[in-house]
Structure formats: C-alpha cells, structure tokens
Amino acid sequence: MIRKLARILLWMLAALLGSGASLMAESHRPAENDTVLMFVGEDMEVLSIASRRQEGVWQAPAVGRVIPRKELWKQGVKTLSQALKMEPGFYMAQKEWGSEAYLRGIPDSALLLYDNLVPMGSDVTKTLQPLDYELSLAPVKRVEIVRGPGSVLWGPDAFAGIVNVVPMTGKDLDGAETGALYGGPEDHGALYVNMGKDGGEWDGFLSMSGRTIAEDDTPCNIVRFWGEGGRAYPYEERFGAEQPGRSHYLEASGNFSFRDWFTLSGLISDYKRPYAMSGPDESSRERDLTWPESRSGPFGFIKLEAKRDLDAVSGVRFAGYYNWLNLEYEIIDRRLDQRENRFYGELIYDRSFFAGKGVFTGGAAYRKTDVTNAPVWKSYFPDYVAQEKTTFLPLYTLEDYDDRLWSLFGQYTHSIGDFDFSVGLRNDDHRRYADALSYNAGVVWSPWPAWMFKALYGTAYRTPSARQLLGGDTPDLEEIETLNLQAGWKPSPRAEVNVCGFVSKIENHFMEDPYAGLSQPNHQKLYGVELNGRFSPLKVLDLSANLTLLNNSGPDETYRYIQYWDPDPHYEELNFPYDPGPKRLFNLTGTWRPHERVSIFARLGYHSATRLMYPRADTVQCLDGAWVLDMAATVRDMIFPGVDLQIAVRNLGNTHYRTAGTYSTISGEPFTAEVMLRKRW
C-alpha cells in the first residue's frame, strides 16, 4: 500500500509542478533565459550528479567533490583508484585482480558512471569495476564524487556514493595532445593521443591509448587442474612452474556534439590482466598453493543525448545508451566466457519557477539487461585445488537471465532566503525481484558567504548479484539509509575547511566471496566523521589534508558452505566479523611551485590495520597499517612550447608492508617510477 501511494504521489507531484509552473511562468517570466537549469562558470568546481544538472559543489545538495584534469595531471595520477585513494572515505583495497573500493566502510558500494550516465560495473558481481588501467584517464576532463546514497536520481547501486568520470570534448581541446610513458620496475609502457576540434556550432573529440605492463610476477606452482571426463588432474600432476605474464590495455573513446541539441559518444576498451591466486596447501603447512588466473575481454558503450528548451523556463532531455561487457575468466586451464548487455533510455523534464527559486527535475526510464553464462559456483574451488585425494571437479553452472526495470523519479529544490531545500522520490519496478522505493531530503544553509551547513538524508538499494539472484528464493534487496551532517568554512579563496559526520544503516546485507561463498542476510550500522581542509600559506604553496574515522556495530557475518555431498549437500556455518576495511584513513598533500613552469607534488597517505578473513580456513589475520609516500614533479614547456615532462614515483620507501588478498596476504603497493612526456599541438 505504501509503495502504491508513493507512486501516485510521484505522478501527482510531477503533474502539479508542471501545471503550476506554467501558470507562474506567465506572471513571473523573466526578460532573459533565467532557468537556472545550468550552472555557468568554466573555472569553478562543477558538479553534475547531485541534481542531474550542473551546479557549484559548495551549494549542491550533496557531500561532493570535483577533481579537475589539471589536478590529476599535477598529482601524477594514472588510474581512477590512484585518484580515489586520496579522497575522504575511500579505501582502495589491493587484491590480486586489481583494486576494490571501500567507501565509508562498505565494499563495492559506489556507483561508477562514465560520461554522466553510463554505469561501468557488472550485474553479475559487484567487485568488477574498471578502477585501474582498464579505464584510461588520458581523455578525462574531471572526476566527480558524491558521498552518500543517490538512488533517487541514479537508480540501482548508487548505494554509498557515486563516482562520475567526465570525458573531454572538442570544446576542451581544439587541436591535438600526445603522451608517452615508461616506468619500472614492471617494464611499463604507455602511449595516448587526444584530438579535438571546435567548429563553433559543432565539436568533436577522439582519444586512443595503449598500455603494457608486467603487473604480477608471482611464481605459480599449480599449472593444470581441469582434466577430462569430469575429473581433476591427479594431485602430483598439477604442479609445475609458471608466471602470470604481461597485462595489456587498449582503449578508444570519442564524442560529437551539435550545438546544445545533440551529442553522440562512445567508448571501447579491451584488456587482459593475468594474476596469481594463493591458498593453503592441506598437505603442507610450510607452503601455499598458487595458481594463475586472468580477467580479459572488451567492454564499452554507445550513448546518445538530445535536449530541447520548451520555453524560457523549461526543457526536456532524452538520453539512451547501449553498453556491453564480454568478460573472459581464466582459472588455471579453464576459461569461462560471460556476457552482459544493457539497453537504457530515459526522458527528463526540467522546469524552474518562482522566478528561478524553485527547480524541478523529473523523469521516466527503462532499462533492459541480459546476462549470458553467469558462473554460479556450487562448490568452493580453492578446496578442490588443495585436497590431495580429490579427483572430482568443483561444481558450477553457467546461467542466463535477464531483467526489465521501469523507473519514475523526481526531485525538487527550492530556495527560501539563505536556505535551499530539496526532496526527491523514486520508484523502481523490477520484473525479477521486488520493487524498490528510494527517497531523499535535505537542506543547505548559507547564513554568510563563507559558511555552509548541510543536513542530508537519503536511501538507496543494490540489485542482487548472480549468486544471490540464482541461488534459490528471490532475495530481499540490500538497502541503506544515510544521514549526512556537513559544515564548511571558506574564509578566502586560499583556505577552506569541511567536516562531515555520517550514520548509515544497512539491511539485508550480503558479503560475496569470489567462489561460492555468500554470507547470510545481515544488518550493520556504520558511523564516522570526515575532515577535509586546504590552505595556501604562499602563492607558490598549496597544502591539503583529510582524515576519516569510522566504526561499525552489528552481528557477525554468517557464511553457509556445502561441507560435503551424500548425495544431497550438507552445510556448515561459520561466523566472522563484518569487514569495514581500515577504520582510520589519512592523507596529507602539498604542491610547491618553485618556478612558474615547475610544480612538485607530494602525498603522504596512511591506512590503519586491516583484516584478512578467510572463512573456509576459519581464520582472521590482523595486518598492520601502512604509511605510503608518493611524489610527482612536472616541468611545463620544457625546451619547446607545449612539451611537458613529468616524473612520478609511488610508495617511496615502504615496500615491505603486507595487505589482505583474497585467501592470503599479498605484498603491498610496490615502488614504481614513471617518466612521461606530453606534447600539445
């Protein structure tokens, strides 16, 4: 009943706002276009994901942050994970297969968008996101971040936050830019070229990049396993010597726009990342079994946008995309091919009224998702590798499924004096599982230009993974509700301080293991504080720091595994504490410009202790925290105009710390050095 009333309320709200705004527009129509649908200011921090229109970060109804291209370059950042680990609330956990993002103590909880709309994750597993070299930063204009739920405007999986990667256009680059990089000790090489053209009424942009790197040189002692006839190779025949090999990454992206009416954009990326996985050997306590795996395959999208102003105070926008992910898993000598295809279309209506004091954004959307060969494990693969007497292969099935999603959403913002109020509501109607209702409300108060206070409340949900969806009964959706309280002080352009406290409650929470392990539904409460400040004591020196403190409370996670078959499965249950990642995060950064063409950047980062939880081994291992120092030096217009040189080093001095892998500890971030040349034509 509540859901039905909410849907009716949403339709009535859209209708009333549309009709009411039309009447007000007649009596309050400004002489010029004063729609406030767009926030103008090229040099200001522009956030587009808080209200689905461009606005300043300071006043947006969100805990937001924008990282511009110029800042990414000066920091020597080459991957999204390198950029996010310097942000409050983010911990980028190192895994054998890449980076896993924890946001405010919740793993895999941020929705990753590209080009303001296209999700870059997987419906099959939440851990699959292109946070490393799979997604090139060469064509990126800025990275937008929102910490807090965003399902009202962005639908499923905008759970604990949103990261939006905004590409460059021909308006940003009228010419060409090329870059070449070499680094070690991984024998790392990369090339890219960006080309743009600003034709006045039209503009176009194209980027191409390639990269090769030896990311993992861990020796593997298990080189064969999957035998013929449903049997594994005998234990003694599984051993050998092998290394994962080199990774490669290729990407092409671009866009074309005509006036403000029409934009066509797309991206295609193809990569292969080999890595080594380790687990305990039951026959020997003095060694681990290590086997090769890899992830590879193309992914990409094609996106179309169009918009039209209906009058001076209203407009409509259409956006649609088709994206795909053709993923190949290699597990020793077995390959699994997984396919995901998604079609999405939305129609959005914008209107301002009350002489621009009120803004309504509402719309309807449809999404169709098709998944082919999703692997659903019924046995725990590492157990089979480790057991000497096991001859049978682990059980898994390749499942096909689809989903259809209809959505109706709206958000209204209104200014009264120094206060900006916002409220939003969304209903998602799924075909395969329960409908979801998301809502938010907030107030932004700026009593003086230098002060800002925000109180924001929102809810969000996550769609089930393939293991949850196909594991039996229809699962309940994982839900979150979050309260953010933020205060900011900006006494001058050279100084700013922000403090944000948050409380999040999660219901129907699941933890997902790469092979078969899935925790039982649970609930958790997470709370913490984020402090962020910047200060420029001199014109040539910029300093910034952020600190994140968090904690959690709630029951232990319960994992239920198949212990043996006789002939039906017999289960065992194991209990482990919830894993929020490190509970203390700290970053101190500084940029010094000793010369007008030279800048030196340094970042000192810290994360507190982490834990390796390996349910099948019934162990919890505590790992010490670590300090890491990164530096980058950039020389602009070196020798010739438009030629830039950059030298970047990472983890300068701390190469011995350990971190939590999937089933065992792995080496922390290695020391690397890179030299890059960039030329603007």
Q: Using 50, 70 and 90 to split pLDDT, how confident is the model at 270?
A: very high
Distance from C-alpha of 427 to C-alpha of 158, rounded to nearest angstrom: 14
Distance from C-alpha of 290 to C-alpha of 95, rounded to nearest angstrom: 14
Q: Using 50, 70 and 90 to split pLDDT, how confident is the model at 418?
A: very high
**Nearest CA to 321 among 300, 340, 339?**
300
**Residue 50: CB partners within 8 Å, gap ≥ 6?**
60, 61, 62, 64, 146
**What are the pLDDT digits (tens) for 214-225?**
999 899 999 999
| φ/ψ of residue 418, rounded to 5 | -85, 5
Percent of the chain past pLDDT 90, that is, above it, reads 68
| φ/ψ of residue 578, rounded to 5 | -65, 145
**Nearest CA to 575 among 551, 550, 557?**
557
Distance from C-alpha of 509 to C-alpha of 287, rounded to nearest angstrom: 35
Beta bridge partners of residue 279, listed in sequence order: 289
Residue with tokens 């040539």: 540
Q: Using 50, 70 and 90 to split pLDDT, how confident is the model at 366?
A: very high
590 SS3 class: strand
Q: Which pLDDT value is given to residue 515?
A: 60
Q: Which pLDDT value is given to residue 593?
A: 96
Contact yes or no for 350/315 (Cβ under 8 A) = yes
**What are the pLDDT digits (tens) for 592-601?**
999 999 999 9
Q: How far is residue 290 CA from its own chain's centroid?
A: 29
Distance from C-alpha of 616 to C-alpha of 631, rounded to nearest angstrom: 40
Triad 610, 163, 171: Cα angle to 5°: 145
Distance from C-alpha of 554 to C-alpha of 184, rounded to nearest angstrom: 44
State yes or no: pLDDT of 94 exceeds 50.
yes
Structure tokens at 61: 């109804």
Cβ-based neighbour number of residue 491 at 10 Å: 11
By DSSP bridging, strand 63-68 and strand 140-147 are antiparallel
- In order of start, what are the domains of the chain with their CATH numbers? 2-680 (2.40.170.20)
Q: Which pLDDT value is given to residue 13?
A: 39
Q: Using 50, 70 and 90 to split pLDDT, how confident is the model at 26?
A: very low
Q: Which pLDDT value is given to residue 617?
A: 62
Residue with tokens 């594994």: 232
Residue with tokens 């709309």: 117
Among the ranges given (147-161, 318-332, 462-476, 496-510), the one the predictor scored with the smallest mean pLDDT? 462-476
Q: Which pLDDT value is given to residue 23?
A: 32
Q: Using 50, 70 and 90 to split pLDDT, how confident is the model at 286?
A: low
Distance from C-alpha of 591 to C-alpha of 536, rounded to nearest angstrom: 9
Distance from C-alpha of 592 to C-alpha of 273, rounded to nearest angstrom: 36
State yes or no: pLDDT of 1 exceeds 60.
no
Q: Which pLDDT value is given to residue 517?
A: 64
Name the H helices within 277-406: 381-386
Q: Which pLDDT value is given to residue 576?
A: 83
How does DSSP assign 471-522, residue by residue? Answer: SSSPPPPEEEEEEEEEEEEEEETTEEEEEEEEEEEEEEE--B-SSS-BBPPE
Contact yes or no for 554/578 (Cβ under 8 A) = yes
Distance from C-alpha of 248 to C-alpha of 267, rounded to nearest angstrom: 17
Q: Using 50, 70 and 90 to split pLDDT, how confident is the model at 351?
A: very high
Q: Which pLDDT value is given to residue 627?
A: 96
Q: Which pLDDT value is given to residue 678?
A: 96
Distance from C-alpha of 102 to C-alpha of 109, rounded to nearest angstrom: 7
Structure tokens at 681: 């034509």
Span 54-81, mean pLDDT? 95
State yes or no: pLDDT of 29 exceeds 80.
no
Distance from C-alpha of 496 to C-alpha of 533, rounded to nearest angstrom: 6
Mean pLDDT across the chain, nearest whole number? 87
Distance from C-alpha of 221 to C-alpha of 240, rounded to nearest angstrom: 5
Distance from C-alpha of 679 to C-alpha of 642, rounded to nearest angstrom: 5
Contact yes or no for 628/651 (Cβ under 8 A) = yes
Q: List the end-to-end C-alpha distance of the chain, in Å, as a whole number.
A: 62
Span 549-573, mean pLDDT? 79
Among the ranges given (494-503, 557-566, 617-626), the one the predictor scored with the smallest mean pLDDT? 557-566
User: Which one is predicted more confidently, 15 or 343?
Assistant: 343
Distance from C-alpha of 667 to C-alpha of 660, rounded to nearest angstrom: 9
Structure tokens at 336: 């699994």
Contact yes or no for 374/124 (Cβ under 8 A) = yes
Q: Which pLDDT value is given to residue 633?
A: 97
Q: Using 50, 70 and 90 to split pLDDT, how confident is the model at 380?
A: confident
